[in-house]
Structure 1
Amino acid sequence: MISLPTNLPTRETLARSQVLRRSWPFVMDLAVAVIGLAVFYCIVLIAKFWAGPPNTQMVVSLSPRALPAYAFYSVVRIGLAYLLSLAFAIAYGYTAAYNTRIEPFMIAVLDILQSIPVLSFLPGVMLAMVGLFPTRHLGVELGAIVLIFTGAVWNMAFSFYSSLKSIPRELIEATRVYRYSPFQRLVQLELPYAAIGLLWNSIMSVAGAWFFLMACEMFHFRSQDFRLPGLGSYLQTAADQGNGHAIAWGLFTMVAIIVATDQLLWRPLIAWSDKFKFEQVESSKRVASPILALLTQSNALTALKEHTTEPLTEYVYTRYAERRIAILKRQEGRPPAAPSKSANLLAYALIAIAAVVVLYLARQTLILISPLQRSQYLELLKGAAATFGRVNLSLALAAAWTIPVGVAIGFHPRLARIAQPLAQIAASVPATALFPVILLALVRIGGGLGIGSIALMLLGTQWYILFNVIAGALAIPTDLKEVATLFHFSTLQRWKTVILPGIFPFLITGMVTASGGAWNASIIAEYFRLNNQTLQTVGLGAMISNATEQGQFPILLLGTVMISLMVVTTNRLVWRPLFRLAETRYRLGA
């Protein structure tokens, strides 16, 4: 006698499961429609607010009831600054990676720009934007967005550039054999290969935007007081007044936004980007996202993909292929064309114009700083040495813990589900909001702002290294990990032969951007206001902050130039050789 299992599903259970399968796509379609309507309403609301006259006497309310509106304005500013950063990073990184003549110049410019503090951009950017739109609130908003952009874009540009330089040679050769157009190569090879690093640096950029939000939404310049409604100005006002309850409400709102962003945006993107890992053996440990799983079941999104995205993509690819084949046929049998004399003359003319502009700017700089006294030069040199020491000490302390922790998170998806949102929250919470507590604790144990500034730099820059190390650990092919397991590598052998070589390009990118971030954070770390008192220590950051507030352009300009020179020199002597090593010796390939 054969006994049947008693746990078989009944007809009612099967019918209920089929109803659920049919209902989930409908729920997702409804959710997509609601999100679309909400986005449209938000666009109308923002356009109406920005088109209004500027409010020069705005008072930041510390009531918790004002937080939803403030949070909305800050999220919009950060979102627009991120989209601008993403477009700039892809365009700049692509141009630098594939133009060998201007590559050294572009990387040098990137080194300089990522090291210049936000407050050095502030007067020129804000005055220019307000001058463009003097009768609209749009000018002040665009100024804040551009300032957030200057604090968030550089690590993304470095990440995309580094990924392009480390693409395996056999993949590049395959695109040449199949005669890919530059657009096809970008969409089907370069963006997918750079997706993991670009995504984790995007998380860091948004976290950095939250870090500098307080400086971008509320600042003083001479007699002018620029204030924007937002979480940054709310936390800055609460910190200035020493209002602990308001700081707690502001941080709670910020953490809630960060958690929601992680679950609704970053977690699905991380799970989606896992398919772009360069490996020959599929990993059994995949990052999962319920939101991504639900989105794939949406009938509306599936229909949009089948009837709009896929046909449009096929049409574009076909047109590019036909055009490229026609160009190659015309070029067959022809000798390579020599550069025309007019092109050479144009290049020489552009170089001459650029040289004249540089000489003029150098002359204007010398004229502007000529009134400075010898004592001021000595103060600047002393401040430069002090800030240089703090920056390097904060980098060493950050690397000591972020490398092992980042590798552990990248190698264990279960740990990543817990640790990644926590790291994102910790990276996004402005250290300036926590700094009063840290500073008071240091004062009690006998420390001061000299030590506190290192702690603040560490809080602001260690995440650049951590997120890049996580991205590097995730990008290590599964087959390399399995070979290490198969041959019973010891922990030391695994680190020497698999982990450190695998994360090396990402680690160098993180260290470079962390170095620039530390210099940038010095403007806040060395000059701090607490309970209507100004605390400062010896350093270039303190001098730049004070000069910005007082409108002392000679000191502001010379301090910024000194930071740029030190960063460029360090990059040329240390980081650039390590970048070349990452491109050659530690490059994945057959």
Structure 2
Amino acid sequence: MAGEGGFPSRAVLRRPALRWVDVLVAAALLGLLYGLLRLAPALNAPFLPDTAPSFVSTDPSNLPYYAVRSLTRMFAALIPSVLFTFVYAIAAARLRRAEKVLLPVLDILQSVPVLGFLSVTVTAFINLFPGSALGLECASVFAIFTAMAWNMTFAFYYSLISQPQELDEAARVMRLTKWQRFWRLDVPGGMIPLVWNGMMSFGGAWFFLAASESISVLNRTYALPGMGSYAAAAIARGDLGKVGIAIGVMMVLVIGVNALFWRPMVAWSERFRVEESEAAEHPRSVVLDTLRRSSVPERLGRPLRPVGRALDRWTRPFGPAEHPLFRPQKRERTGDVFFAGALAALVIFGAWKALAYVQDTAGLAEFGHAFAVGAATFGRVVVLLVVATLVWVPVGVWIGMNPRVSRFAQPVVQVLASFPANFLFPFATAFFVLVGIPLNAGAIVLMALGAQWYILFNVIAGASSIPSDLREAMTLFRVGGRLRWRKFILPAIFPYYVTGGITAAGGAWNASIVGEIVEYGHHHLTATGLGAYIAQATGTGDFPRILIGVTVMSVYVVAANRLLWRRLYRLAETRYAL
């Protein structure tokens, strides 16, 4: 832009001043990059399975390094979890024939415990990277991924199938392509539940950190440097002092992650709330405010804009995106018979091969024993869900519908949910032994420490996402007490509660692996249940019983999902979607 006489104007010649906020953000990014580069050689260190150590050093001076290694694995698992969520949830919501397969598969994947995945994948990853610790690192990251991905996928799937019809019509009028609709409607519409469930999944993954870093399969234990393996070594030695030190470091780590990452994400996701009147208060984050004042993120994202425009152009020939509830009836009828037949043949063949393997090893009668002990775990899961619902639904509504309370309570809830409760198992074991509580009852408490938060987080997300205009209408009409709960609050949070309930149930089954068999020093407590059955089989490398245990657990979880949770999903979709 030229001024008088053809010379550039002052606005062009003026250079933006170097601001402290830009220096701070740039320094933080460079520090993060430097740390990752320094950490990279350790990930590819020499590794020999026969000589690998079974325990890590419990010297407290190693804890800062262990904390960095564990945190790196957690975020390395979060990235593929988000990608998996986007791809899998979109396929399940948009492809109706594929949905009939993808949702049951997701039920099964959610029901398979972390140890079930580890028993199969550890050897494969080690062989994929022979002589390198990278294979064991990949196995650990994959185990953490299995503790994160399913809950996030369920949450994003529900947000897709419950999109408001008027937004679908607007997308059609604007002729958005599938790619444009995904980034401008699907992701923004599901961002609030995705962030909350991502935060919960991240916290749930902390719960399985010990099993993911101190891996016991085939009568072998492989230990990776990390907080989980440090705690496992201290617990095995009965050193409560060092367990306490690990708990202190974990509290600092969890609080730091929530303050620097999840709190900004929660505050940022508020921009995607759909409502006609603005809420009185919004979540705030010092980190997010700092990033918004800085020009560094905008400059880093500028080179990616041509890529987004190119993808918009490339996807336009595929035509406009269809609404998730759109059903081409003729296509479904003509293709479903062949699709269902091929799927049934595949399932029957796989089941026949598995039964033949079990018959030749453990014997089919072992299924009866597994179903019997599974009934005990099923009873614990039911008790856990009932108690967690009665306790946390009112608390979640109170937090979610009161912005001032939420501002103080959300960080506390995030820390409680993110803290790996199995670090407290030694103290719980000592208490059970001292008081004389059998683990058959105490296991419910231990399982609840890792599973109850799914209900609380989803209820908070549901209550906080209720449009302000509806809240104001209820206040204006003076609707209160039991009527307000029955006609307004419970229907509004019902879809979120269903997501929380189904993931809490899956999390409880997974938590039974570490909650039904606990050790501290010379104390070894075992409860009657399917979790203890699978943990013992995994520790001894008994593949037939691992297969039996995982199969029986899958049957229990899929049956409960089909008979209860899927029906509640349909009810939420057809009757209670805002």
Contact 2:358 2:364 in 1 (8 A): no
For residues 182-581 of structure 1, the aligned pairs below 5 Å read 182-304=178-300, 307-308=302-303, 313=308, 316-317=311-312, 319=313, 323=317, 357-370=346-359, 371-372=361-362, 376-581=366-571
How far 1:252 moved relative to its partner? 1.1
Aligned-partner Cα distance in 2 for 1:458–1:223: 29
Contact 2:26 2:296 in 1 (8 A): no
SS of residue in 2 equivalent to 1:219: strand
Aligned-partner Cα distance in 2 for 1:198–1:30: 31
Tell me what 2:41 maps to: 48
How far 1:315 moved relative to its partner? 5.8
Q: Bigger shift: 428-437 or 133-142?
A: 428-437
What do the CA deviations read for 1:266-310 (whole angstroms, capped 9, x no partner)? 1111111112112111112211112211211113334445x4455
What do the CA deviations read for 1:417-463 (whole angstroms, capped 9, x no partner)? 22222222222222222122223323333311111100011111001
The letter for the 2-side match of 1:360 is: F
SS of residue in 2 equivalent to 1:226: strand
Tell me what 2:125 maps to: 129
SS of residue in 1 equivalent to 2:568: helix
| Pair 525,178 (structure 1): closer, same or farther in 2 beyond 3 Å | same
Q: Does 1:147 align with 2:143?
A: yes
Contact 2:429 2:518 in 1 (8 A): no
SS of residue in 1 equivalent to 2:19: helix
Tell me what 1:12 maps to: none
Aligned-partner Cα distance in 2 for 1:356–1:47: 46
Tell me what 1:6 maps to: none
SS of residue in 1 equivalent to 2:293: coil
How far 1:399 moved relative to its partner? 1.0
Tell me what 2:10 maps to: none
Contact 2:114 2:510 in 1 (8 A): yes
Aligned-partner Cα distance in 2 for 1:304–1:368: 55
What do the CA deviations read for 1:344-367 (whole angstroms, capped 9, x no partner)? 79x95x877655543432222112
How far 1:321 moved relative to its partner? 8.2
Q: Does 1:31 align with 2:24?
A: yes
Q: Does 1:159 align with 2:147?
A: no
SS of residue in 2 equivalent to 1:153: helix
The letter for the 2-side match of 1:247 is: V
The letter for the 2-side match of 1:382 is: A
How far 1:570 moved relative to its partner? 0.9
Tell me what 2:115 maps to: 119
Equivalent of residue 67 in structure 2, options 37, 48, 71: 71
The letter for the 1-side match of 2:463 is: A
Aligned-partner Cα distance in 2 for 1:426–1:178: 44
Q: Bigger shift: 451-460 or 308-317?
A: 308-317
Aligned-partner Cα distance in 2 for 1:401–1:351: 42
The letter for the 2-side match of 1:173 is: E
Q: Bigger shift: 355-364 or 509-518?
A: 355-364
Q: Bigger shift: 377-386 or 258-267?
A: 377-386
Aligned-partner Cα distance in 1 for 2:446–2:413: 16
The letter for the 2-side match of 1:242 is: G
Structure 2, unmatched stretches of 5+, are 1-15, 321-327
The letter for the 2-side match of 1:368 is: Y
How far 1:323 moved relative to its partner? 4.5
How far 1:513 moved relative to its partner? 0.5
The letter for the 1-side match of 2:527 is: T
Aligned-partner Cα distance in 2 for 1:251–1:26: 39
Aligned-partner Cα distance in 2 for 1:392–1:321: 47
SS of residue in 1 equivalent to 2:452: helix
Contact 1:296 1:302 in 2 (8 A): no
Q: Return the TM-score normalized by structure 1.
A: 0.88
SS of residue in 2 equivalent to 1:103: helix
The letter for the 1-side match of 2:283 is: V
What do the CA deviations read for 1:219-261 (whole angstroms, capped 9, x no partner)? 3223322110000001111111121221111111111111111
The letter for the 2-side match of 1:251 is: I
Q: Return the TM-score normalized by structure 2.
A: 0.90
Q: Does 1:585 align with 2:575?
A: yes
Aligned-partner Cα distance in 1 for 2:34–2:575: 52
| Pair 167,242 (structure 1): closer, same or farther in 2 beyond 3 Å | same
The letter for the 2-side match of 1:228 is: L
What do the CA deviations read for 1:509-560 (whole angstroms, capped 9, x no partner)? 0000000111111111111122144321111111111111112122111111
Contact 1:112 1:564 in 2 (8 A): yes
Aligned-partner Cα distance in 2 for 1:250–1:116: 29
Q: Bigger shift: 181-190 or 441-450?
A: 441-450
SS of residue in 2 equivalent to 1:296: helix
The letter for the 1-side match of 2:423 is: A
How far 1:187 moved relative to its partner? 0.6
Aligned-partner Cα distance in 2 for 1:497–1:379: 46
What do the CA deviations read for 1:486-525 (whole angstroms, capped 9, x no partner)? 1111122221222111111110000000001111111111
How far 1:587 moved relative to its partner? 1.2
Aligned-partner Cα distance in 2 for 1:512–1:115: 11
Contact 1:119 1:548 in 2 (8 A): yes
How far 1:137 moved relative to its partner? 0.8
| Pair 511,210 (structure 1): closer, same or farther in 2 beyond 3 Å | same
| Pair 354,316 (structure 1): closer, same or farther in 2 beyond 3 Å | closer
Aligned-partner Cα distance in 2 for 1:150–1:312: 31
Tell me what 2:4 maps to: none
| Pair 374,146 (structure 1): closer, same or farther in 2 beyond 3 Å | closer
What do the CA deviations read for 1:73-123 (whole angstroms, capped 9, x no partner)? 100100011111111011100100001112121111101110111111111
Contact 1:89 1:160 in 2 (8 A): yes
Aligned-partner Cα distance in 2 for 1:575–1:58: 41
Contact 1:180 1:321 in 2 (8 A): no
Aligned-partner Cα distance in 2 for 1:250–1:465: 27
Contact 2:177 2:316 in 1 (8 A): no
SS of residue in 2 equivalent to 1:286: coil
The letter for the 2-side match of 1:547 is: A
